[in-house]
Chains A and B, each alone.
Chain A
Amino acid sequence: MNIFRLAGDLSHLLAIILLLIKIWKTRSCAGISGKSQILFAVVYISRYLDLVTTFVSVYNTVMKLVFIVSSVATLYMMYVKFKATYDHNHDSFRIEFLLVPCFVLALLIHAAFTPLEILWTFSIYLEAVAILPQLFLVSKTGEAESITSHYLFALGSYRALYLLNWIYRYYAEGHYDLIAIFAGAIQTILYCDFFYLYITKVLKGKKLQLPA
């Protein structure tokens, strides 16, 4: 564990907590893509199946459980409890266009052809693009509430910090995982446009609004 990895994990945790607080406090999931949240739940569940086969550390186990439980709780809030506030019409991204190619890619490019490893690889590829429905929703409505912007910033920062962690681990431990590094770089690149808007608008107290 190094400072980049810890900061990345905490940023990820912060993102999830921000999202749950936003939905709970405003009693609304307006502006949040249920499609992205479905993809994140699929990511965590398919990646953390190793909870039952491999013990890494208490920290690792607790974080995995938190990510799975919070993603399912978010889905419950969006599709059951605050269903009426969910923005169906704008959240029209077709997730099968992400799910199927990621699964096929995982079957083709992986470290080992075992069910758990294929699912882990699938989750890594899927996580890289899981935010696309959310970014698509923001682009369709042309704006995002400030707490939604903070959520996206924390979520994007997490993988960017992991990139630093992987650079550190390569030099410090000789450890590297090309699949995770490649997907993590794609994931971070997808947020760049949003990072720019966040820094130039939201941090200056303005609402995140896209030019018409």
Chain B
Amino acid sequence: IDEEEGHDEL
């Protein structure tokens, strides 16, 4: 996972 953005999907 991207530490900055987290999960961007549902």
Contact = CB atoms under 8 A, between A and B. Distances in A.
A117 interface: yes
B9 A5 contact: yes
A180 B1 CA distance: 11
Interface in B1-10: 1, 5-10
B1 A54 contact: no
A86 interface: no
Chain A at the B interface: mostly helix, strand, loop or mixed? helix
B6 A67 contact: no
A3 interface: no
A53 B6 CA distance: 9
A126 to B, nearest CB: 15
Contacts of B1: 111-112, 117, 177
B7 A162 contact: no
B5 A54 contact: yes
Interface stretch (A18-26, A56-64, A198-206): A56-64
B8 A60 contact: yes
Interface in A46-77: 50, 53-54, 56, 60, 63-64, 67
Contact of B6 (A5, A56, A162, A165): A56
A145 interface: no
A50 B10 contact: no
Interface of B: 1, 5-10
22 contacts: A9-B10, A12-B10, A50-B6, A53-B6, A54-B5, A54-B6, A54-B7, A56-B5, A56-B6, A56-B8, A60-B8, A60-B10, A64-B10, A67-B10, A111-B1, A112-B1, A117-B1, A120-B7, A162-B9, A165-B9, A177-B7, A180-B9
